[in-house]
């Protein structure tokens, strides 16, 4: 009889422990990796996009990722599928995904670039862009430019230049200065420079 009482007490304590931990496990929700599965079709399973119109987001600064997702959710970036997708996530889920992508290694694809334009773009980058986009535009707190798909960069710059997308901080002044230095080819030169980095 005593043995049954002891066993009953152990089972009761075990059940209490499980019931105590269950809410924490349920509230923890899916991991950043699990949440990122939605992104894989366009941005690749690890954030290294394989499609020319989609940006690579592997190695992206977590704050840049979260700010971008919040802007999409609030329709502050041009309408796209991202605006609809972002509305399905909480701020905490944005952070989970951000840390997952930040921890991924960026795999770059070689692109066909014009060597003369890329050389001029390197000079323009050094003069006008390096302060914010350090190390030639490598992943950092101003986003990733180096090795980014050139068609994506072209579409994005068209959006900025046409007024469809708001310029971040000092970017308009810097781009205007680059265009003043190099004329209409300045943007193309910068894009060829970034596309040549891999």
In which residue are the tokens 């939605």 written?
A: 38
Rg (CA), the chain: 23
Q: What is the mean pLDDT of the chain?
A: 87
Look at residues 57, 60, 64 and name the one whose alpha carbon lies nearest to residue 39. 57
Record the pTM: 0.80
- Cβ(139)–Cβ(106) below 8 Å: yes
User: What is the count of structural domains for the chain?
Assistant: 2
Q: Are residues 182 and 131 in the same domain?
A: yes
The answer to whether residue 25 scores a pLDDT higher than 50 is: no
Collapse the DSSP code of 59 into the 3-class scheme (helix H, G, I; strand E, B; otherwise coil) and give the result: coil
pLDDT band at 18 (very low <50, low <70, confident <90, very high): low
d(CA 39, CA 23): 28
Q: Are residues 176 and 152 in the same domain?
A: yes
pLDDT tens column, 102-152: 999 999 889 999 999 999 999 999 999 999 999 999 887 788 999 999 999
Q: Are residues 128 and 190 in the same domain?
A: yes
Q: Are residues 140 and 188 in the same domain?
A: yes
The answer to whether residue 8 scores a pLDDT higher than 90 is: no
CATH number, domain with residue 82: 1.10.760.10
Give me the pLDDT at residue 50, please. Answer: 86
The answer to whether residue 191 scores a pLDDT higher than 50 is: yes
Which are the contacts of 119, defined by CB distance < 8 A and separation ≥ 6? 193
- Residues of the domain holding 169: 115-196
């Amino acid at each position: 009889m005593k043995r049954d009482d002891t066993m009953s007490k152990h089972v009761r304590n075990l059940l209490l422990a499980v019931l105590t931990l269950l809410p924490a496990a349920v509230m923890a929700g899916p991991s950043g990796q699990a949440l990122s599965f939605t992104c894989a079709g366009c941005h690749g399973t690890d954030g290294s996009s394989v499609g020319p119109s989609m940006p690579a987001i592997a190695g992206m600064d977590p704050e840049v990722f979260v700010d971008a997702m919040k802007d999409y959710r609030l329709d502050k970036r041009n309408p796209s599928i991202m605006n609809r997708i972002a509305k399905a996530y909480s701020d905490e889920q944005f952070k989970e995904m951000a840390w997952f992508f930040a921890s991924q290694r960026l795999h770059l694809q070689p692109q066909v670039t014009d060597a003369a334009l890329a050389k001029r773009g390197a000079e323009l980058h050094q003069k006008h862009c390096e302060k914010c986009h350090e190390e030639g535009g490598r992943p950092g707190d101003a986003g990733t430019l180096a090795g980014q798909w050139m068609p994506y960069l072209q579409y994005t710059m068209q959006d900025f230049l046409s007024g469809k997308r708001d310029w971040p901080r000092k970017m308009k002044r810097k781009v205007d200065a680059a265009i003043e230095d190099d004329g209409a080819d300045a943007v193309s030169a910068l894009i060829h420079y970034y596309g040549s980095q891999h």
